[in-house]
């Protein structure tokens, strides 16, 4: 009987250990991003009459919240409807920033520069989220400035439902929107350009529940002579636009990321054998955006399908769609758009009343090798810590920090030589930073604190200072050369905390640290330290 009890105890103990090890699985590179929507003041600012100081405080509070949770990037909506959250030579200040379209912040400041600087201070990426073709959101209530493009060039637009849209079939329209984007790319230190799911407008139905046609027949008659149907012509307009934007971005800043967040279903299998086993709204057929072709052609660097459905949903199952997109990345990055706002204790869908729905979605994401992270919507849900999801991210999934995934096909960012105005082109920024100069261990109760000293910037050889660090772990006492297999975790701090294990037998490990600069260059390993982890 005693032997049976001992064996049972050991089996239970090993099970606990395996669960503990699973929960501490580290994603060293993972996109952990959020959308911050400004249209109609959905996320920011909380209202359009805040002072400049209040706007700045509200934004930094949002960043601090996300930094605490473990996010490493934001997708900020800088142009919601042919307007701007920055001083633009093309379009007026946004109504949702200052209360009146065309009115500048008072006291004056450049919100976009401020937001980029504050985001970068926290070690996070800033992606400029732009709505390319929405021009007026709700024609009945919108405040439209006299210099708004819909008034200066009315022939470029059509009204559909309650909104006004750029007509993408007009070449001058596509060129204009590309110029608007180019201005931001040239003048701001953004990390990426981002579009969501809005291309041609979502279908609007009449009183008989029939879809109202998009009013672009005249444009098709003028520009679509080589096409047999208007649907293929519209998709080609989107193809031309995406390629034009992609080429322009890369010509200006080759290292900049360009990504799209379509709705979750490209096409259903019932319509296309290549489609997903779903019965959902199809991005290809109704918004005329062939995202799969954009991936195949390498025009975009990542795709972030908005899979805002629960696991097991009969029309569009979450896991089915994650697996489908995992198999259709064509060498580009895949981030899953997750609808945190759907979680609600009062939801009519029992799945969204389950606190484990979102954590289970995270676990599904990590089952697939091509899923490189998540983008979450929306900020209001995080402010409320809906279903305790903030805590799940902070203590489990994002317990260790991670850098955004490296895109091997992009060059590193440009750098400027210290104390000069000479720009070193991106392709030659391969100078490694200096290794951490010291490393030591401090016992702190049930924990060990592993700390290191960040090496100063090497001015003579133009080494950049390290902004991230890789910690490597080896079994036993060793100082062997590090490999990717030995990677323990990545962090932007100069220390980590290591908890003493509950193993019955002592374990001995060696640790060393390398530094990583802004261009992704990794230093040599620093000193090695030795720690005995054993049962307390």
**pTM of the predicted protein model:** 0.78
For residue 507, the cross-strand partners are: 533
Q: Which helix (H) or strand (E) holds 367?
A: none
Q: How confident is the model at residue 14 (pLDDT cuts 50, 70, 90)?
A: very low
Side-chain-side CA neighbours of residue 141 (13 Å): 7
Task: Give tens-digit pLDDT for 153-189.
Answer: 999 999 999 999 999 999 999 999 999 999 999 999 9
Query: How does residue 461 score in pLDDT terms, banded at 50, 70 and 90?
Result: very low
Q: Would you kindly state where each structural domain of the chain is located, as residue ranges?
A: 29-397, 413-533
Question: Looking at residue 178, what is its pLDDT?
Answer: 98
Nearest to 136 by CA among 147, 150, 156, 116: 150
Q: Give the residue-averaged pLDDT of 449-463.
A: 69
| pLDDT tier, 6 (very low <50, low <70, confident <90, very high otherwise) | low
* Paired tokens of 419: 């104390």
Q: What gap in Å lies between CA 150 and CA 343, rounded to an integer?
A: 38
Domain 413-533 indexed as CATH 3.10.20.440 = no
Give residue 353's Cα distance to chain centre: 26
Per-residue tokens: 230 = 């208007």
Q: Which residue has the higher pLDDT, 463 or 201?
A: 201
Is it the case that residue 261 has pLDDT exceeding 90? yes
Provide the pLDDT for residue 69.
97
- Asked if residues 128 and 186 have their Cβ atoms less than 8 Å apart, the reply is no
Question: Burial, 408: exposed, middle or buried (Cβ in 10 Å; 0-12, 13-18, 19+)?
Answer: exposed
Nearest Cα neighbor of 71 from 20, 19, 126, 135 is 126
How many alpha carbons lie under 13 Å from residue 122 in its C-beta half-sphere? 24
> According to the model, what pLDDT value does residue 517 have?
79
**Interval 102-149: pLDDT, tens:** 999 999 999 999 999 999 999 999 999 999 999 999 999 999 999 999
> What is the pLDDT, as a whole number, of residue 295?
98
Judge whether 516 and 494 are in contact, CB under 8 Å: no
State the chain's mean pLDDT as an integer.
88
Instruction: Give the angle subtended at the CA of 99 by the CAs of 93 and 102, to the nearest 5°.
Output: 25
- Please give the CATH architecture assigned to the domain spanning 29-397: Alpha-Beta Barrel (3.20)
458: pLDDT strictly greater than 70: no
Please give the pLDDT value at position 505: 45
If DSSP codes are grouped into helix, strand and coil, which group holds residue 150? Answer: helix
Neighbours of 147 (CB within 10 A): 12
Mean pLDDT, residues 225-254: 97
For the stretch 474-522, pLDDT in tens is 877 665 566 667 788 888 888 888 877 654 345 778 888 988 877 677 8
Alpha helices by DSSP H, listed for 259-301, are: 283-286, 291-296
Mean pLDDT of the 370-378 span: 97
Give the closest residue to 123 by CA, choosing from 495, 517, 448, 432.
517
What's the confidence (pLDDT) of residue 19? 40
Report the distance separating Cα 292 and Cα 347, nearest Å: 33
The per-residue pLDDT for range 213-231, each reduced to its tens digit, is: 999 999 999 999 999 999 9
Confidence at residue 518, expressed as pLDDT on a 0 to 100 scale: 73
The per-residue pLDDT for 497 is 86
Distance of CA 261 to the CA centre of its chain: 10
For the beta sheet containing 157-160, the strands, ordered from the edge strand earlier in sequence to the opposite edge, are 134-136, 163-166, 157-160
On whether the CB atoms of residues 33 and 76 are closer than 8 A, the answer is no
- C-beta separation of 522 from 516 below 8 A: yes
CA nearest neighbour of 452 among 534, 515, 520, 361 = 515
- Model pLDDT, residue 4: 54
Both tokens of 340, joined, read: 């945190």
Q: Can you spell out the DSSP letters for 374-387? A: EEEE-HHHHHTTGG
DSSP letters along 449-472, please?
EEEEEPPPP-TTTTPPPP-EEEEE
pLDDT tens per residue across span 384-442: 999 999 999 999 999 988 889 999 999 877 544 444 444 444 444 566 788 887 888 88
Closest of 297, 115, 88 to residue 182, by C-alpha = 88
Q: Is the pLDDT of residue 275 over 50?
A: yes
Alpha helices in 337-454 (DSSP H): 357-365, 379-383, 389-392
pLDDT at 426: 40
- The CA distances from residue 54 to 67, 162, 262, in Å, are 20, 32, 33
- Torsion angles phi and psi, residue 478, rounded to 5: -155, 160
With cut-offs at 50, 70 and 90, classify the pLDDT of residue 55: very high
């Amino acid at each position: 009987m005693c032997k049976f009890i001992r064996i049972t105890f050991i089996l239970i103990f090993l099970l606990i250990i395996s669960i503990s090890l699973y929960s501490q699985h580290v994603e060293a590179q993972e996109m952990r991003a959020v959308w911050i929507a400004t249209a109609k003041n959905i996320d920011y600012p909380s209202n359009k009459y805040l002072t400049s100081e209040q706007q700045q405080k509200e934004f930094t509070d949002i960043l601090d919240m996300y930094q605490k949770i473990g996010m490493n990037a934001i997708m900020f909506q800088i142009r919601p409807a042919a307007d701007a959250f920055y001083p633009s030579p093309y379009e007026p200040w946004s109504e949702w920033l200052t209360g009146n379209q065309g009115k500048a912040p008072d006291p004056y400041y450049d919100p976009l520069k401020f937001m980029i600087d504050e985001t970068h201070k926290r070690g996070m990426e800033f992606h400029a989220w732009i709505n390319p073709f929405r021009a007026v959101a709700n024609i009945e209530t919108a405040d439209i400035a006299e210099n708004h493009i819909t008034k200066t060039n009315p022939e470029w637009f059509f009204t559909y439902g309650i909104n006004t849209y750029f007509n993408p079939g007009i070449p001058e329209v596509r060129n204009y929107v590309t110029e608007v984007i180019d201005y931001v790319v040239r003048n701001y230190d953004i990390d990426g350009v981002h579009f969501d799911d809005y291309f041609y407008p979502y279908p609007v139905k009449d009183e008989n529940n029939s879809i109202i046609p998009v009013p672009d027949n005249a444009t098709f008659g003028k520009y679509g002579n080589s096409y047999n149907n208007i649907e293929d012509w519209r998709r080609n307009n989107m193809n031309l636009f995406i390629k034009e934007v992609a080429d322009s971005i890369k010509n200006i800043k080759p290292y900049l990321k360009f990504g799209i967040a379509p709705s979750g279903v490209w096409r259903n299998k019932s319509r296309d054998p290549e489609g997903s086993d779903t019965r959902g709204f199809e991005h290809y057929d109704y918004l005329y955006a062939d995202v799969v072709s954009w991936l195949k052609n390498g025009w975009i660097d990542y795709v972030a399908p908005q899979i805002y459905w629960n696991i097991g949903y009969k029309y569009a199952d979450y896991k089915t769609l994650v697996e489908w997109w995992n198999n259709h990345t064509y060498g580009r990055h895949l981030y899953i758009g997750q609808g945190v706002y759907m979680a609600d204790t009062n939801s009519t869908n029992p799945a969204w009343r389950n606190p484990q729905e979102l954590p289970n979605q995270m676990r599904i994401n990590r089952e697939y090798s091509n899923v490189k992270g998540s983008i979450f919507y929306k900020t209001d849900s995080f402010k409320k810590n809906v279903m305790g999801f903030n805590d799940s991210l902070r203590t489990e999934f994002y317990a260790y920090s991670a850098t955004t995934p490296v895109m091997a096909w992009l060059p590193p960012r440009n750098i400027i030589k210290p104390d000069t105005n000479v720009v070193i082109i991106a392709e030659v920024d391969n100078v490694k930073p200096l290794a951490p100069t010291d490393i030591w261990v401090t016992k702190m109760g049930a924990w060990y604190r592993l700390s290191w000293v960040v090496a100063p910037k090497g001015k003579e050889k133009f080494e950049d200072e390290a902004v991230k660090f890789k910690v490597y772990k080896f079994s036993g006492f060793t100082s062997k050369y590090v490999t990717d297999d030995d990677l323990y975790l990545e962090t932007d701090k100069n220390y980590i905390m290591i908890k003493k294990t509950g193993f019955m037998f002592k374990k001995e490990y060696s640790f060393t640290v390398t530094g990583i600069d802004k261009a992704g260059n990794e230093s040599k390993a620093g000193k090695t330290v030795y720690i005995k982890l054993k049962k307390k």
